[in-house]
A and B are shown apart, each in its own frame.
Chain A
Amino acid sequence: MTTAFAVIQMMLTAVRRMIWSRQTMVSLLLLTLVSLGCIAWSLRGERDPADFLRQILLPMYVAFLLPMSCLSFATVGIAGDREEGTLVYLLSTPLPRPLIYTAKFAAALLLALVWSLGGLWVLGVAAGPAGREAVAIAWPAALLATLAYVGLFQWFGALFRRATIMALAYALFLEVFLGNMPGIIKRVAITFYTQCILFEAAAPLGVAPSGPHSATIFQPISGSTAQMILIVLSVGFFVLGAVVFSRREYP
């Protein structure tokens, strides 16, 4: 009972501190900019959900805004305390380390979900009726991608002192660069699986990988397989992070 209470307190404290952090400000700024882009986009003639998915959600939300929002919250969970020197207080409590990690993970996941799904909704609203229709199709992919990103970036937090820099390097290099490489190398990127889910869900709207060699370049997998992989990755990253955090010394 007291352990559960302490874990919940730790989670709530982490949520409070993350809300009032500069990461939130950065995420808010990015969301505002993309939302303004959506408004401008919606003003340029007749738009349909497929256009919104192709022109806004895939290049701006899935490839950029979503990983950045998750990165902002997930990397500060553990790494923020490490950088500020306050981790020692958490590690001095009689709570098992996996529970401390879980509290931090839950806080980051809660905020990242609110931010990614809330952000998606804001973009949909900003883009008008076409946007709202597209959001209804896209949210399951966003939810699963958020789970995987938070798991991954929180693991980075347990692993690296400068987790934000490592996560940025990952997001910008692996996700963007390798994620757009031809062949199966892009399968190291979470974005790839998110796109596969989106393409399958939006297939009735005619949304598919585009370009003259799209089939050979993108080589999509089925949406259900992509969902399964993202769920397995989320659980795997969480377990990996908890094990690392439980065994690692933080001098």
Chain B
Amino acid sequence: MSRHATADPLPAIAELTGVSKFYGPVMALNDVTLSLQPGITGLVGPNGAGKSTLIRLLTGQLRPGLGKVRVCGRDAWRASAKAHIGYCADSDAFYEEMSGRQFVRLMARFHGLFGAAARQRCETVLEEVGMADRADRPLAGYSKGMRQRIKLAQALLHDPDLLVLDEPLNGVDPLGRIDLLKQLTQIANRGKAVLVSSHILDEMDRLAERVLFLCRGRLIASGTLAQVRDMLDDHPLKVCVACNSPRALAARLALHETVHGIQMQGGDRLILQVRPPKEFFPMFSELACQEAFEIRRLEILDASTEAVFDYLMQASQPGAESKRVPAADSMVDRQGTPAS
């Protein structure tokens, strides 16, 4: 079983083909193949998974040891590709003596914009990130959230096709996060590919259309959250059911082989552990109709990025292959293989 959903029919803006990256004897990325289409893609993985390496390869800061990284058809290392890439790095470095506006305007000039065009573009992106009225203060006095916004502003200056954001929500207050998430969605809606790396998995649920799961340098799963969750058919899914007669329903469900655990939650609720989900849901619908149970609520509890991530991490631990995941080889399958 592959954990890689079939790629969208949309044209790829960025592609990694069989990319491996070595730091001396350490393999930071191992044979990664993926493509980024317009829309927001989340990149998640534990520390040391290779997220930053992947991002730096994609933005042309690093060169692959093996394989190819192409952005808009150009080698990402080459200067011509950089015109299509906006990069919001995780480092918090600026020319501290400048104001936010001076910094963004300077970056505009570095991108070849000058005169009125540079000023106009600078104001547009500052407005877009909500910093237009605060950009004249020195960068050294900015909060973390304001610095993130300035970094985003400089990444948007040249209207890139691919926007790569490494932990863009770090230090941003809750209201600011909502603003930034909206902006990223708007950028994606303009046909741009946005790759967001974040350790705040909760936000990925709301933000990312697709998610790339990296672990120990390998791309262990990719696709929409629902697609990836569906692929985890060997892992019990937690489902919350609220109905008018929970005990009767529990008694009926206990007879079915797809239900591996039932927990009474008090009141009208049951928490079920089901596997495989694909077989459970048709059975459940049929049962509810036949027995006339009044289903008030049906909710999947662990289809979030965090739950999927946790499972993938557990399954990819050394030794987990033989115990937990029968199809271990396909779990860490060669990337890019369409899901069956």
Contact = CB atoms under 8 A, between A and B. Distances in A.
B116 interface: no
Nearest to A83: B93
B110 A251 contact: no
B111 A93 contact: yes
Given A20-B97, A94-B79, A2 B62 contact: no
A89 B154 CA distance: 9
A94 B63 contact: no
A203 interface: no
Contacts of B95: 13, 17, 86
Given A89-B107, A92-B82, A5 B114 contact: yes
A155 B125 CA distance: 36
A250 B95 CA distance: 18
B309 interface: no
Interface residues of B, number: 30
Most A C-beta atoms less than 10 A away, residue of B85, B109, B154:
B109
Nearest to B82: A94
Contact of A92 (B80, B85, B93, B114): B85
Interface size on A, as a range, is 20 to 34
A92 B109 CA distance: 13
Interface in A35-86: 84-86
B109 A5 contact: yes
A3 B79 CA distance: 11
A95 B109 contact: no
Give chain B's interface secondary structure class. Answer: loop
A88 B87 contact: yes
Interface in B83-142: 83, 85, 87, 89, 91-95, 97, 106-107, 109-114
Contacts of B61: 88, 91-92, 249-251
A170 B269 CA distance: 75
A95 B109 CA distance: 11
Contacts of A88: 61, 87, 89, 91, 93
Contact of B114 (A2, A20, A91): A2
A218 to B, nearest CB: 45
Contacts of A2: 112-114
Nearest to A85: B93
Contact of A6 (B63, B89, B111): B111
Contacts of A6: 109-112
A96 interface: yes
Interface string B54-89: 001001111100000000000000011011010101
Interface string A230-251: 0000000000000000000111
A114 interface: no
A43 to B, nearest CB: 41
A93 B82 contact: yes
Contacts of B60: 91-92
Nearest to B56: A251
A89 B105 CA distance: 13
A208 B266 CA distance: 102
Interface of A: 2-3, 5-6, 9-10, 13, 17, 20, 84-86, 88-97, 249-251
Closest 10 pairs between A and B when the two form their complex, measured CB to CB: A85-B93, A2-B112, A94-B83, A9-B109, A94-B82, A96-B79, A85-B91, A93-B110, A92-B87, A6-B112
Interface of B: 56, 59-63, 79-80, 82-83, 85, 87, 89, 91-95, 97, 106-107, 109-114, 154-155, 158
14 contacts: A2-B113, A3-B112, A6-B109, A6-B112, A13-B95, A17-B95, A89-B107, A89-B110, A91-B61, A92-B59, A92-B60, A97-B79, A249-B63, A251-B56
